[in-house]
Amino acid sequence: MGRIESLAEYLRAQGRRRLDRVESGDGGRNARSALALLDAAAYTASLGDDDPLVEVLVAAGCFGPHGFGEFRPGERVAALIRSWESGEPWQLLMAIRFAL
């Protein structure tokens, strides 16, 4: 699995997790988050492994110490992704970049 595929899969998994979450009175927050994350996953999957974001993620250690592992963000990026509710997919990727 390539780096972009790994990042897209992580975003899809987080989107599915939000879909499965049931909270009374959340005002649609989980649904908005799920849609935004699934949209970001689809957008991310269309990028190439030569996308500049990949190099930033590799340098930050998000793909392991040698840059070839599964996408595993640090807590700051993971929290950002978990809290993402709306916005264009590229905005999430830029937010990830600036959170590193």
Q: CB count, 10 Å around CB of 32?
A: 15
Rounded to whole angstroms, how far apart are CA atoms 45 and 83?
21
Whether residue 30 contacts residue 79, with contact meaning beta carbons closer than 8 Å, is answered with no
Query: Does 54 score more than 90 pLDDT?
Result: no
Domain total for the chain?
A: 1
Give the burial string for 39-52 (b: 16+ CB within 10 Å, else e): bbbebbeebeeebe
Q: What is the mean pLDDT of residues 8-23?
A: 90
Name the strand (E) or helix (H) holding 52.
helix 52-59
Cα three-residue angle 93-16-44, rounded to 5 degrees: 25
What's the pTM?
A: 0.88
Tell me the residue range of the domain where 14 lies.
3-99
CA-based diameter of the chain, in Å? Answer: 44
Would you place residue 38 in the very low, low, confident or very high pLDDT band (cuts 50, 70, 90)? very high
Would you place residue 5 in the very low, low, confident or very high pLDDT band (cuts 50, 70, 90)? very high
